[in-house]
Amino acid sequence: MATGDVVLLAGTDCPPENEEAFIKWYDEVHIPNIFSYAGTKEVTRYRIVNENKDCPRHLVMYRISQDSFQEWLKSPEAAASSVDSKKGEDRFGYKLKWGTRYQVVKEWKK
């Protein structure tokens, strides 16, 4: 991960009866929409290992280049992603429990 890249994290929950359709939509519609923006470098989706009521079941990490992050915030792709997310919430009943942004300061790799 390049120093200075921006990582967006989002934790979501979805009703169990809608989860399969939600994941399909997320993988086949939402993520390709995110990748339509050239500054998007990586998206990784995680599922919690030990479920508990305090933590969301799903976590996603979006990595966007620092050089284009401010531009991305104002882009049509970001606006479309927001609309797309709202449609997903309405259709599948998923809830964004929390979301935040971090800037990469330093990284270590083996």
For 26-42, the pLDDT digits (tens) are 999 889 988 888 889 99
What CATH number should be reported for the domain whose range is 6-103?
A: 3.30.70.100
Cα torsion through 99, 45, 16, 82, rounded to 10: 50
pLDDT above 90 for 109: no
Choose among 19, 60, 57: nearest CA to 40.
Answer: 60
pLDDT above 90 for 73: no
Q: Measuring CA to CA, how many Å separate 48 from each of 1, 39, 83, 89, 97?
A: 23, 28, 26, 20, 14
Q: Residue 53 has what pLDDT?
A: 85
pLDDT above 80 for 6: yes
DSSP state of 16: G
- pTM listed for this prediction: 0.84
Q: Residue 2 has what pLDDT?
A: 56
Structure tokens at 10: 């989002």
